[in-house]
Structure formats: structure tokens, C-alpha cells
Amino acid sequence: MAASPDDETEDSGRLPAPLRSVTPGSRPHRDEGMDVFGWGVFLGLLVLLMPLLPFIIIVWGISKVTDMLTPSPESGGLGVDE
């Protein structure tokens, strides 16, 4: 009695050979449809976030000023020494 191919793969612990496909292999190419979609998402986010940019800059500037004015515990400022 002949052994089935499944028995051989279980015994050897190796995976079976890859299956052949009827579809031809594809080469890397540009996908203009996805390109347009990506640029659209980018421009949409840019339009939405551009009005918020001044507020983001103000919050960033305030945080930098408060960091400069507030002494940090590592520099021996007003922190509690043990």
C-alpha cells in the first residue's frame, strides 16, 4: 500500500511544496488610483488641520516657556531632598 503525501509531510516535519497558480505573477507597478486617494487624504487632513496650526503653536510655546520658568527636581531647584 502506498503512503499518501500527507504522511510524508507529517513525518519529515517540512512544509509541502508551494502550490502552482494559474494567475500570472505581477511585477511592481504604480497604482494611480491609490496614489490619487492618498493625496486626497493628505490634502483633506491639511485643510482640516491648517486652521488649528496657530493654536498648536501657541500651546507649544506656552509649554516651552513654563518649562523654562519652572525649576526641575534634577537641577537642585525647589524639589524635596531626602
Where residue 15 falls among pLDDT bands split at 50, 70, 90?
low
Per-residue 3-state assignment (H helix, E strand, C coil) for the chain: CCCCHHHHHHHHCCCCCCCCCCCCCCCCCCCHHHHHHHHHHHHHHHHHHHHHHHHHHHHHHHHHHHHHHCCCHHHCCCCCCC
CA distances from 17 to 2, 14, 30, 43 (A): 20, 9, 31, 46
Given a cut of 70, whether residue 64 has pLDDT beyond it is yes
| Confidence (pTM) | 0.40
Given a cut of 50, whether residue 5 has pLDDT beyond it is yes
